[in-house]
Amino acid sequence: MITKLVISDLKRMKETGEKIACLTSYDASFARLQDEAGIDVLLVGDSLGMVLHGDKSTRNVTMDDMIYHTRLVNNVRQRALVISDMPYQSYTSTELAVGNAKRLVNEGGADIVKLEGGEEISDIITAIKNIDIPVCGHLGLTPQSFSTSDGFKVQATTEDAAEKLKQDALLIQQAGCDCMVFECIPAEVAKEVTQALNIPTIGIGAGVDCDGQVLVLHDMLGITGKKFRFLKNFLKGNDSITDAIKTYISEVKNKSFPASEHFF
């Protein structure tokens, strides 16, 4: 019988040094392949707005969209833990955030809900935790802050900005975050903050020293054609999508991905 991962497993992986392998997932077919390949975490990201809908940002994604796609992924996963994004403007107040977090868990089947932001959302994180829903934070590049991808640039590049990110990370950990995503920040900053936190960190464009890695599935398969520095096409050199996913998991686990050419 397959045992489904829970948040305590991610915390154990941080403690033992085992890297966490995460990919985005939006539907049952891919989720089944990912789960069977051994992925640890499936992130139902609001990136689906750009990847599946063809939008210029994540801002048009609705709660109904997130619940629908989370439910598709949850229907077939057997082992992987499912994190689901709270979409743009779905957590502008404590009451709204709590209600929407409940929907993602009860209607979609999410294990963890993910919110973008630092100190300004700490009270909201605490409120969600108070109803026993695990929370994943998201710092660095926060896509919901931009109406187009033109604003997607490396963050925390100055000493002051790096210190602000560290303080935000510590504050939202204290507020109740169970894990955290760092997106597009210098590798040294990600390493320092990861070491300062007691909770697992998952990086995208944040170097190899985060406790885990995440990529957008369609990016790592070369489907979107994006050429971001932190990306690698794992389908190249493999005969199937399953082999590409397995290679990604292996390279995350053995710390060969991301390599230095993928760092900021």
Active site residues: 183
Retrieve residue 42's tokens: 């499936």
Are the CB atoms for 82 and 39 separated by under 8 Å? no
- Distances 202 to 4, 69, 107, 178 between C-alpha atoms, Å: 19, 21, 26, 12
Distance, CA of 125 to CA of 86 (rounded, Å): 12
Distance, CA of 23 to CA of 29 (rounded, Å): 14
The CB-side HSE value for 38 (13 A sphere, CA atoms) comes to: 13
Closest CA to 43 of 185, 156, 138, 173: 138
Retrieve residue 121's tokens: 């959302």
Closest CA to 184 of 221, 146, 222: 146
